[in-house]
Structure 1
Amino acid sequence: MIRKLFHDYHSVGFMLVTGLIMGVVYFCGYDMRIIFDVTKEANLAEDYSFERCDFFDGSWVYDNVTRPLYKEKECSFMTDDYSCEKFGRKEFKYQFWRWQPHGCDLPRFNGTSLLEKLRDKRVVFVGDSLGKNHWVSLLCLIDSWISEPSSKVVEWHGSLITFRATEYNVSIDFYWEPLLVESNCDDPIKHRVLDRIMKIESIEKHAKHWIDADLLVFDSYAWWLEPNMTLLGQDWGKPMGTNCFNETEPITKKGYWGNDTSTGLMRTVESVVQDLRKKNFKIEILNITQLSQYRKDAHPTIFKRHWVPPTALELANPVKTADCSHWCLPGVPDVWNEIFYSYIRYRL
């Protein structure tokens, strides 16, 4: 499928490929905002070497000085799926963890630098609700860097949501396409079907909506799993039948991998990407799998909008309705976007 996508659509100039096996695999602020030393950043842009640093090997550090990078209530683009504070979460420690790679630092996120780098370009996130989680996080990160409200425009066109920063002529879009190929799950509202049917070789119906993108971010994984699959907490040292509900601390075990990690899928994606690079495609894998799996504390659990109101039985047993796939914002996806920013800023 991936090979066909790239074979048929040669006009895509740059593909970003990220990886997350915590429900998804990606194919392909704050009142006291940190003030940048422009000269220092200019030097960093020239000298920054990705070869010196593995962004994905590190640990989570509690940081109540520079985190969070924005506030949930102040983000113009926050949605109810990721608004844990709005829906009753009273414990906010999950907002104050910073990802610290071993032996180096992530470049500080600078919305102006990002928007300048993307000037006159179109970025499209293609995938499911975890891709949307990633996209909303990015919009929240750049929100406060655009001071004029009229310069921030969001438009809905069915499966396509378009954000425009008109001052920079930048478009950052999200396109709902959970299985990437054409399927009976394609409706952006009525897609919760258990009996999933897909046309495995048909991607053209969707591709026409993002084929002109300069930068694509794909995700697709969770929708290919069995619909009755649940994520349990037993590999965190918890009893069987528990999950992320009421978890308030990250996993600290060095080198932790969740039981649901598919190293086979990772190897498949790596192999496909290597083949594409040999064909001179500009493509990156950002494997955010492990750094995200440490964060069992950062999921919405019951603190989100429920598309279907919980029954009395479910309310009596909230573990059963806990969302352990998506992420509260601000939170883990902000780190994905810090890494995303680093690649765009210094390698694009």
Structure 2
Amino acid sequence: MSSFSPSKNHSYRSLIRKLLPWTFYAIIPLVFFRLYFYPCTVSHSNLILISSSPFSFSPSTLEEESAKETTPCDYTNGDWVRDERGPLYNGTSCGTIKEGQNCNSHGRPDMGYLYWRWKPKQCKLPRFDPDTFLRLLRNKHLAFVGDSMARNQLESLLCMLATASAPKLVYRDGEDNKFRRWHFDSHNIDISIYWSPFLVKGVEKSNAGPNHNKLYLDHVDERWAADMNGFDLIVLSIGHWFLHPAVYYKGDSILGCHHCPGLNYTEIGFYDVLRKALKTTLKTAIERRGGGSNGNGTKVILTTFSPSHFEGDWDKFGACPKTKPYQEGDKSLEGMDAEMRKIEIEEVEAAKLSAMQFDYLRLEALDVTKLSLMRPDGHPGPYMYPFPFANGVTERVQNDCVHWCLPGPIDTWNEILLEVIKRWDYQSIREE
């Protein structure tokens, strides 16, 4: 058995007290050596926390950290993969879904279309985070402008945000509530929808008047553009209405028409007209909002053309019968779908060059054409009306193979929208 000696213990403690100061003095040069050759870097997280960026946020997840890439991800290249988590919301939990897109409540029997998500080949597309979106848009006004696809995307976004904060409808006007605004008290955010199926000035055909639309290609539609100074972010969406019969004007002169038998005008189609309408719209946005300072310039996003999936007559059973996405190689982007997308991408890129003189104006194409083309299963079809086959299959039944079920594939558009906003926020911080 060993014995314990107080004198030995005292000597041991005295030795430690003598060595401790010398150990401290030895560490100091090592620290300076480390800092000199391997300087510390300030983390992006700390930068974001102190940023005064108009879309500033504090990243709280690894998914949010992925937004810090300065090179945009190519979301057009990817595959639809199974996702058993399903959507964030359902047809009964959200009160803003247009009846024609509420496929669940209208009795659509197959639910498989709800369990897919888009997986880009070169990067990750995180699941939509409503809290992050609300933080980024705090004190801002987001406006969706365009046709019924703009409304479809808007209602998808509202439903996903409603899982975190309830939107309050504060304004409505126009036939079929084509002009509406919601307010999120929790973050002082306004989200609006403006009906403008051409973006430029137009007179829509009616039962009481001519059976064609009139488009004035050198004038933006002031029904929405007059409010542009109050927008922080604009999401534009057009395309399908350009397929309808129309007469085109530039000033007081008639340029020609599309599908106008009986009228003595030159048939010029609609591709070049779509291009002219986009030029006028983006040019107006640059002129009116490009001069913002301190990060207050309006951000503009153009959602590209969303293909339809009719496989037969619109009023017959089985017009869009698919129940699963196309896989790679099953379907190619071609014809009208490819041309509409090409025009939209080109005009956004041209507008970016024109806007380079303005530091705070951002433009982007939200390229959803291919990923949407791969989802023939995501449309209401006959379930645009409640329980269309309750009394058996009828010979004639109206189908919607253009718009998207909610929830459905269109929710992916807003996942990409969030990633664009996150990247813009990060770029704004780096530029400060």
TM-score by length of 2: 0.61
Q: Which amino acid aligns with 1:55?
A: Y
On the 8 A contact 1:122/1:172 being kept in 2, the answer is yes
Q: Which protein has greater RCO, CA pairs closer than 8 Å, 6+ apart?
A: 1
Unaligned runs of 5+ in 2: 1-53, 246-258, 260-307, 426-432
Query: Deviation at 1:106?
Result: 0.7
Hey, what's the Cα distance between the residues in 2 that align with 1:332 and 1:92? 13
On the 8 A contact 2:143/2:194 being kept in 1, the answer is yes
For the structure 1 residues 90 and 266, does the alpha-carbon distance in structure 2 shift closer, same or farther, using more than 3 Å as the test? closer
For the structure 1 residues 246 and 339, does the alpha-carbon distance in structure 2 shift closer, same or farther, using more than 3 Å as the test? same
Deviation per CA, 1:245-284, whole angstroms, max 9, x where unpaired?
3321111133732555443333333332223222224101
For the structure 1 residues 179 and 74, does the alpha-carbon distance in structure 2 shift closer, same or farther, using more than 3 Å as the test? same
SS at match of 1:285: strand
Partner of 2:38: none
Indicate whether 1:266 and 2:285 are aligned: no
Deviation per CA, 1:85-129, whole angstroms, max 9, x where unpaired?
122211111111111111432123211111111111111000111
Pick the aligned partner of 1:291 from 354, 371, 375. 371
On the 8 A contact 1:89/1:303 being kept in 2, the answer is yes
On the 8 A contact 1:59/1:102 being kept in 2, the answer is yes
On the 8 A contact 2:203/2:214 being kept in 1, the answer is yes
Aligned-residue identity in percent:
29
On the 8 A contact 2:381/2:400 being kept in 1, the answer is yes
For the structure 1 residues 67 and 154, does the alpha-carbon distance in structure 2 shift closer, same or farther, using more than 3 Å as the test? farther
Hey, what's the Cα distance between the residues in 2 that align with 1:144 and 1:340? 17
Hey, what's the Cα distance between the residues in 1 that align with 2:385 and 2:210? 19
Indicate whether 1:54 and 2:77 are aligned: no
On the 8 A contact 1:256/1:290 being kept in 2, the answer is no
Deviation per CA, 1:3-24, whole angstroms, max 9, x where unpaired?
xxxxxxxxxxx9xxxxxxxxxx
SS at match of 2:415: helix
Matches for 1:86-101 after TM superposition, within 5 Å? 86-101=105-120
Pick the aligned partner of 2:217 from 200, 210, 226. 200
On the 8 A contact 1:298/1:328 being kept in 2, the answer is yes
Partner of 1:233: 311
Hey, what's the Cα distance between the residues in 1 that align with 2:72 and 2:146? 32
Partner of 1:252: 327
State the Cα RMSD in Å: 3.3
On the 8 A contact 2:102/2:406 being kept in 1, the answer is yes
Query: Deviation at 1:213?
Result: 0.8
Q: Which amino acid aligns with 2:346?
A: S
Hey, what's the Cα distance between the residues in 2 that align with 1:174 and 1:100? 29
On the 8 A contact 2:113/2:408 being kept in 1, the answer is yes
Q: Which amino acid aligns with 2:344?
A: V
On the 8 A contact 1:137/1:329 being kept in 2, the answer is yes
Q: Which amino acid aligns with 1:174?
A: I
On the 8 A contact 2:384/2:399 being kept in 1, the answer is no
Partner of 2:163: 144
Query: Deviation at 1:59?
Result: 0.4
Matches for 1:1-348 after TM superposition, within 5 Å? 38-41=60-63, 43-45=65-67, 48-49=68-69, 51=71, 53-64=73-84, 66-146=85-165, 149=166, 152-158=168-174, 159-185=178-204, 194-206=211-223, 207-226=225-244, 232-233=310-311, 244-254=319-329, 256-278=331-353, 279-280=355-356, 281-305=361-385, 315-318=394-397, 321-348=398-425
Hey, what's the Cα distance between the residues in 1 that align with 2:319 and 2:82? 19
On the 8 A contact 2:179/2:192 being kept in 1, the answer is yes
Deviates more, 1:135-144 or 1:260-269: 260-269
On the 8 A contact 1:62/1:96 being kept in 2, the answer is yes
Unaligned runs of 5+ in 1: 1-13, 15-36, 235-240
SS at match of 1:38: coil
Q: Which amino acid aligns with 2:372?
A: S
On the 8 A contact 2:199/2:221 being kept in 1, the answer is no
Q: Which amino acid aligns with 1:198?
A: L
Hey, what's the Cα distance between the residues in 2 that align with 1:249 and 1:298? 8
Hey, what's the Cα distance between the residues in 1 that align with 2:98 and 2:143? 18
Q: Which amino acid aligns with 1:142?
A: L
For the structure 1 residues 154 and 94, does the alpha-carbon distance in structure 2 shift closer, same or farther, using more than 3 Å as the test? farther
Query: Deviation at 1:170?
Result: 0.6
For the structure 1 residues 59 and 261, does the alpha-carbon distance in structure 2 shift closer, same or farther, using more than 3 Å as the test? farther
Query: Deviation at 1:55?
Result: 1.7
SS at match of 2:323: coil
